Amino acid sequence: MELLVKPWRLIFAVIILNAAGILLRIFNLDTYFILVGFRIHISFILPLLIIFKKCQVNFIKQIFVDPHHKKTVLPLLWILLPTLILIGGLFWLKKTTIGDPEYFYEFGLSSIIDYPIYLIWNFPQLFCFFIFLVLASTVSKKSFLVVTSVSFFIFAFEFFPLNINNVDYSGIASLLLISVSIGLLIRYFQNIYWFTIVIFSIFWLNFLVFGSSSEEIIHLLFASQYAGWDGFLEVNKQLVSFLLPMQLGLTFLVILISSFFRKKEPEVSF
């Protein structure tokens, strides 16, 4: 495959992004904004803007017109199976019960009905993220390592401890697990539409079921007028911080097993 991004440009994009993100956090400013409903996080948009060149246009067109992986069953398994296994395991261990969340109807049930809208609002930024990763994968034949590393480091600033005593180990573990999963998806299952649906849905499903106190997460994945959500299930407090890493660990395993039966994506010519 032709080199579409120079390595120095890719590194420059990661450095600029993290510098901007850390500055925004230092000054207590949001790293995302909402424009006419569409969610825009700088990690999804800024890297592509930095590396974009006119010569990449035909390549980008082909990403939309001719995605490689066109099957439906596997992406649905990646979304649903890890969450079902996690929920089943929690009930089996008697570590969770049906909750009684505030805004059960206004937020909980309406979020299920409004899922297509939330997904559409996230399409543009996830499209940009996918295009950036596929362009980045052309830097080296070791595309899995490149994509995994880039996926991790373009979100690293979100977990950079401004207070050394307040390190988010759960968040870092989750970032690492989703990064290696993304590395596999780009290497073996390139499809911009399924990629977008899968990445959005696995997080949307986790936080809908188990809840979140993060205003940023709620605003990006759900309605912007809420600052938190308790979740449909009430889980043992000792396990709460492990829920997302456990789900993403299961997601990685399911995708990894799927990749054993899938050849590396063919090179794209244009």
- Could you report the per-residue pLDDT of 157-170, keeping only the tens digit for each? 999 888 777 889 99
Compute how many other C-beta atoms are within 10 angstroms of the C-beta atom of residue 26: 10
Which tens digits make up the pLDDT trace of 182-234?
999 999 999 999 999 999 999 999 999 999 999 999 999 999 999 999 999 99
**Segment 234-254 mean pLDDT:** 96
Q: What is the pLDDT of residue 4?
A: 81
Compute how many other C-beta atoms are within 10 angstroms of the C-beta atom of residue 47: 26
Question: Is 93 strand, coil or helix?
Answer: coil
How far apart CA 229 and CA 125 sit, in angstroms, is 23
How far apart CA 177 and CA 49 sit, in angstroms, is 26
Compute how many other C-beta atoms are within 10 angstroms of the C-beta atom of residue 95: 14
What are the φ and ψ backbone dihedral angles of 212, each rounded to 5 degrees? Answer: -160, 145
DSSP 222-262: S-TT-S-B--SEEE-GGGGGGHHHHHHHHHHHHHHHHHTTS
Return left, alpha or beta for 2; rule: phi > 0 is left, psi -120 to 50 is alpha, else beta.
beta
**Segment 101-127 mean pLDDT:** 96
Q: What is the pLDDT of residue 264?
A: 54
Single-letter residue type at 217 = I
> Residue 16 pLDDT > 50, yes or no?
yes
How far apart CA 242 and CA 236 sit, in angstroms, is 11
Q: What is the pLDDT of residue 1?
A: 54
Q: What is the pLDDT of residue 3?
A: 75
Diameter of the chain measured on Cα atoms = 56
How far apart CA 236 and CA 218 sit, in angstroms, is 22
> Residue 128 pLDDT > 50, yes or no?
yes
In a 13 Å sphere around the CA of 111, the CA atoms on its Cβ side amount to: 25
Residue 5 near residue 51 (C-beta atoms within 8 A): yes
Close Cβ partners of 19 (under 8 Å, ≥ 6 residues apart): none
R_g (Cα) of the chain, nearest Å? 19
Local confidence band at 269 (pLDDT 50, 70, 90 cut-offs) = very low
Local confidence band at 268 (pLDDT 50, 70, 90 cut-offs) = very low
Residue 118 near residue 111 (C-beta atoms within 8 A): yes
4's tokens: 């579409």
Residue showing tokens 């309605």? 223
* Residue 155 DSSP label: S
Predicted structure pTM score:
0.94
Q: What is the pLDDT of residue 93?
A: 95
**Sequence ranges of the domains in the chain:** 7-259
Query: Residue length, the chain?
Result: 270
**Segment 54-63 mean pLDDT:** 91
> Residue 70 pLDDT > 60, yes or no?
yes
| Cα 99 off chain centre by | 26
